[in-house]
Structure 1
Amino acid sequence: MTNQEITNVHELIASTNPSNLQTAFAKLQAAPHSKTVLTYLFILSFFHPDEAVRNQAKPLFKVRAPIGFYANATKELFFAKIVPKSGIPSVFVFTALLEKMHKHGVLDVKVLGVHLIDFWVQSWEFCWKHRAVDAMKLLRRVQKGKSLQLAGSIKAIPEEIWQLTELESLTIINRNLGYISEDIAQLKNLKYLNIQSKLAKFPVGITQLHQLAELKLFINNDQFFGTVPSEVAQLTQLKELTFTSLSGSFPVNFCRITSLERIDLGYSNFEDFPEEVTQLNHLNTLKLNFNENLQLSGLFSKLHKISSLKNLDLSFCKLNTLPDEVALLDQVEKLNIAGCHLRSLPTHIEDMVSLKYLDISHNHFEQLPKVVHKLPRLEQVKTDQGVIDIQQG
């Protein structure tokens, strides 16, 4: 059976028409034994989304497969293990299982790649690694509209990705990835970029993405944030910035992006912002949760100068005490200090005259602090017992 004949059978099965399905299996049953047919039956037996198709293919696969390989495949490839109840399989699971099966030397890697990718895009990494499918065709198959999510574990991603100039959203999840080409600058229409990796250096090409509105950087490398260039100021459309695991100084060059409206720095451990943070005159939301090293006195005096700041999250920062300088934040409307080991609130918090919502849950308050009733615009307080509506006299 030729590759084209397998493709024809594949199209019959993909139609989901019962008559076509019957014709396809008749062709497979009549086909002479070959690596091509065996590989396609392997795909149908263990990876087809329809259980009825899997059950129909397995007897044919069993007859043609080497005994040891069949036993190993049935032991390793449980559909429930490959595809969880959520219906969203893991690329990492796919890659590991396919590599294990490939090592037996029984399967045709080209046939495996060409047809498996039609059922599960999570097989992309295996397909690319073994050059089973043309890289551009592979990326087009994984791409959804103008969005692409590329999760994997290989140390380099297909350079063809930078040719997808129509992309508006790109997510790269790869703990082993240490480098991204400056050619990322070719993605001129990109509005959303999410990189989770161990990059050693900030890709300067990102600074050329002038349509970028949201940037997320989850980088497991202490040196990375020290390489943020001053050219990031060119990202004049950037509204949201998220990054974690910052343990050194805050990258001062991010303060040059004056269009920023929301910054999420959760799970970082830097001590303070540089004075340049006051340049962020459009910033309305700042998340600093789970940071145990913040120096709040210096922080509050700087944030006070950002009149646009309305929402501040300091939850689970292990503050123990909230300094009086919190009163400087008279522009903040929503303050989250949940889980900070607090036992009291400073008297001067009443000077936060714009505050409407306060979260003090998961602390050590024996009762609602009386000072909250002195906050002139406070509407709600969240405690361990739930949200309390505050009635102003």
Structure 2
Amino acid sequence: MSVKPRKKRSIETWDRKKIKAGERKRLLLKAGESFTGTGVHLPLMVWRGLEEGPVLGITAAVHGDEVNGTGAILKLIQDPPFELKRGALVLVPVVNIMGFERHSRYTPDRRDLNRTFPGSESGSLTGRLARVMMKEVVGRCDYIVDLHTAAVRRTNFPNVRADMADVDCARLAKAFGAEVIVNNAGPDGSFRREACKSGCPTIILEAGEVLKVESSVQEMTQRGLTHIMAELDMIDVTDDLRPDTAPHQMIVQSSSWVRAGSGGFLTFHVAPGDTVEKGQPVATNTGLLGKVLETIVSPHHGIVLGMTTMPAVSPGDPIVHIALPDTQKQFRSLEKSVDKIEDDALENQVRNHLATSITVVEHSVEEDGIEVNDTDDI
């Protein structure tokens, strides 16, 4: 990916407002207009440390219903676990403000903001919002962490996605401390891809569900952001702010969705964050009167990166998203590390918390013995 040389805009002045060293200032950035012709404004906070240093942007809700990151940024604003010594933070709790107000992933003109970057000053409503973000936020930051969740009716085990060929993106991704890093540059038109192309290394976190603020996800997000600030020497690390990380970290190059072969109602046998063997049952698909239609098995060794939370499925619906280790040896090492995680560790707290969105039972090969008429769909 080619990176454009750029001249970074000042962090000290926004819309003719001065931000002094050591100051936190709330700002409203004009992002468009509503159907009534009134202005739509993007709330953000600029927080400067006392000393010069890097500018880190933290953004959330590029998809307007993905508010786990919004909660994490608000917690960072209201109850920061550190004192910002060097550099500055640019905190944007909601990027897609128009989608957020409608509880929608998309903008009012039915576009996906995260496929519209770098945008255009004279384009669509969505394109104009993308352009404002590129100019006013990306244009002032040295690094960005963009916070996402799974799409509607899905949940994601916390994982970082980054272009690991970019040394600065790789530095951020490893510092965050998630168990899984997915190595890719992101789709065309995505915020992180275009931010990286403009010269601002950007990674994303995928964690949890839409329209929720989940406590364990919030805690893991805050821990990871603190790790990155420590790595960038923006904060002093004390005994109370020890940068503990996951017991292992696996970089994967690919992932695969396991899909339903037929319509039916699912009973799950795995949860987010579980390791799975090739051929292991991940779900049983039944009719509405309990007749087993199929046992869905994993075609790969790997770790469950995400899964549906909706048990009613149609043929071809995605069920379980599996991150694929490069080698069998890497998978066995991952399996052993997961087994050794302490019960009270944050990683296991997240696993247990995310599993509450679904019911997980052990797979049984026994027939239920109930007689039914010769009807295949019940």
Higher relative contact order (Cα pairs below 8 Å, separated by 6+ residues): 2
Looking at secondary structure, tell me which structure has more helix per residue. Answer: 1
Taking structure 1 as the reference length, the TM-score comes to 0.25
When Rg is computed on C-alpha atoms for both structures, the one with the higher figure is 1
